[in-house]
Amino acid sequence: MQIHLVTHPAPAEWGENNLVSHSTHGLQIHLPDGSALMTLQQAARRIAGLGIKAVQLMGHWSMPQQWAFAQGYMPTAGAETVTLRWADAPEVELLELEQRLYCATWVRRLTNLSPQELGPLDLALESVTFLSELAPTQISHRILKGDALLEAGWVGLHAVGRASRREPVLLELDFNPTRDRRAPVAACLVGKGITFDSGGYSLKSSEGMLTMKSDMGGAALLAGALGFAIQQGLNQRVKLFLCCAENLVNDNAFKLGDILHYKNGVSVEVVNTDAEGRLVLADGLLAAAETGAPLIIDAATLTGAAYMALGGHYHGLFALDNALQSRFMLHAEQQAEDFWPLPLARWHRQQCPSHYADTTNSRPMKGGGPGGASNAAGFLSRFVPREGEGWLHLDLAAAFSDNGSSLWAAGATAAGMTTIARCLLAETAR
Q: What are the catalytic residues?
A: 204, 278
Q: 150: part of which helix (H) or strand (E)?
A: helix 147-152
Query: Please, where are the H alpha helices in 14-61?
Result: 37-49
Query: Please, where are the H alpha helices in 61-90?
Result: 63-73
State the distance between the two ends of the chain, measured CA to CA, in whole angstroms: 45
Q: What CA–CA distance (Å, rounded) separates 274 from 256?
A: 10
Q: What CA–CA distance (Å, rounded) separates 75 from 158?
A: 36
Is 110:218 a contact under the CB 8 Å cutoff? Answer: no
Q: What CA–CA distance (Å, rounded) separates 254 from 56?
A: 53
Q: Give the bridge partners for 144, in sequence order.
A: 170
Q: What CA–CA distance (Å, rounded) separates 59 from 89?
A: 10
- Give the list of residues 6+ apart from residue 211 with CB closer than 8 angstroms, or none: 400, 402
- Give the list of residues 6+ apart from residue 141 with CB closer than 8 angstroms, or none: 128, 171, 172, 173, 174
Is 278:158 a contact under the CB 8 Å cutoff? Answer: no
Strands 54-58 and 267-269: unpaired
Is 382:412 a contact under the CB 8 Å cutoff? Answer: no
